Chain A
Amino acid sequence: TQLLEQSPQFLSIQEGENLTVYCNSSSVFSSLQWYRQEPGEGPVLLVTVVTGGEVKKLKRLTFQFGDARKDSSLHITAAQPGDTGLYLCAGRGYGQNFVFGPGTRLSVLP
């Protein structure tokens, strides 16, 4: 069974600070996604990474896929209150269903 772990579980920071969220597994994934979810809504896809070592940037967000395709990180620069939400990583092995991490709940205080 493929499992994804995320750390930290909770993070509360001040506006303007930087932060990094981690997603780890002992399994290899064909691709890995990051989502952000707000209360009562469905997760919204932020990025997909498919190549080991890949780095993608989305404005102030930087995503990295580990060389072995078992882990990923999300770095936010100069966090803003609008970044508040539940960040989920999800992976999919070849021919298998999506597996989601438990999420990191981020709160950015003004």
Chain B
Amino acid sequence: KAGVTQTPRYLIKTRGQQVTLSCSPISGHRSVSWYQQTPGQGLQFLFEYFSETQRNKGNFPGRFSGRQFSNSRSEMNVSTLELGDSALYLCASSPPGRGQGALLNTEAFFGQGTRLTVV
């Protein structure tokens, strides 16, 4: 079974530009979540999608947005890039939950991440 695939792996953008990152989840996984990882802040939750609906959102400005398609693939977009947006962006997919259904997804499987550098 193929793992979570993120593209591109590396990206260099100029301050003020926008960027779109892509994530293909593991086949059969309908939940996709996004994280920003920096040395100072660790792994910070951005948002989570399930069946094309945003289920949870982290504490990030509106410049960060995302969406999920009917095939469960997801994209996240960052507009008006700032130097502080330089980070490793990670996508994770989760299988259907056990016990009480989809709301109890118990595991996250991560992609290799996209390293974004803003100059």
Determine if B104 and A94 form an interchain contact, defined as CB atoms under 8 angstroms apart: yes
- Taking CB atoms, residues of chain B closer than 8 Å to A94 are 103-104
Task: Tell me how far the C-beta of B47 lies from the nearest C-beta in chain A, rounded to whole angstroms.
Answer: 8
With beta carbons under 8 angstroms apart, the residue of A30, A45, A50, A103 that contacts B108 is A45
Closest-by-CB residue of A relative to B110 is A42
* Range for the number of chain B residues in contact with chain A: 20 to 34
Q: Which residues of A from 11 to 26 have beta carbons under 8 Å from B?
A: none
Do most interface residues of chain B lie in helix, strand or loop, or is the interface mixed? strand
Chain B positions 54 through 67: 1 when the CB is less than 8 Å from some CB of chain A, otherwise 0:
01101000000000
CB-contacts of B71-105 with A (<8 A): 88, 90, 92, 103-105
Q: Which of A42, A50, A97 contacts B106 (CB 8 A)?
A: A50
A107: interface (CB < 8 Å): no
Chain B residues in contact with chain A, CB under 8 A?
A: 4, 6, 33, 35, 42-43, 45, 48, 55-56, 58, 88, 90, 92, 103-113, 115
